[in-house]
Chains A and B, each alone.
Chain A
Amino acid sequence: DGGITQSPKYLFRKEGQNVTLSCEQNLNHDAMYWYRQDPGQGLRLIYYSQIVNDFQKGDIAEGYSVSREKKESFPLTVTSAQKNPTAFYLCASGGSGYEQYFGPGTRLTVT
């Protein structure tokens, strides 16, 4: 079954801890993206990667880091430097067309 998986669905962390969110795709897409969704603000781009071993900052990259060692995987680390980490995080991928396909999301709560 082709698609994008994100795990876990819900994640709870204490303030000051780094946390890594998983994103895997089996659509054979070159590009992958991480967005943050907050109520009333839509989706904002954190990082994106157009090819393995390369990634670029999006609009709100501060306090986040990523890696792209494999085509299928694009994990996002929310570091302790992110001031407001509690949010819904969405991963997406895109192929040769212009559409992006989204995963189910991870809801991160930091207390």
Chain B
Amino acid sequence: AQSVSQHNHHVILSEAASLELGCNYSYGGTVNLFWYVQYPGQHLQLLLKYFSGDPLVKGIKGFEAEFIKSKFSFNLRKPSVQWSDTAEYFCAVMRSGSARQLTFGSGTQLTVLP
């Protein structure tokens, strides 16, 4: 079965620190990749996505992610975090032919200290 791994369950950073959240998946075929964010008390919302082309994708609020096919990874990065980035972050994978089903990782809780 396809799986998505987020190895960091809880990350605590100070403001202005750099962020990298890991995401690895196990499926070997063509995939679409997503990062979703869930701010406290808010809907789950799309942060960024990769379908094809440039493996470095940029999303909202200064986030970016890099798809490394050889490593089955899609890590999320931000050069300088803000207190308002405190949220839970989910990586998700959609494999081709899956009727557009998303498989989510277990999530990473990011806490940014002011």
Contact = CB atoms under 8 A, between A and B. Distances in A.
Interface of A: 31, 33, 35, 40-45, 48, 50, 56, 58, 90, 92, 94, 98-105
Contact of B106 (A42, A56, A100): A42
A88 to B, nearest CB: 10
Interface of B: 4, 6, 9, 32, 34, 36, 42-46, 49, 51, 90, 92, 94, 99-107
Nearest to B1: A59
Contact of B100 (A94, A101, A103, A105): A94
A62 B77 CA distance: 37
Contacts of B104: 35, 42-44
A84 to B, nearest CB: 17
B49 A42 contact: no
B101 A40 contact: no
B15 to A, nearest CB: 26
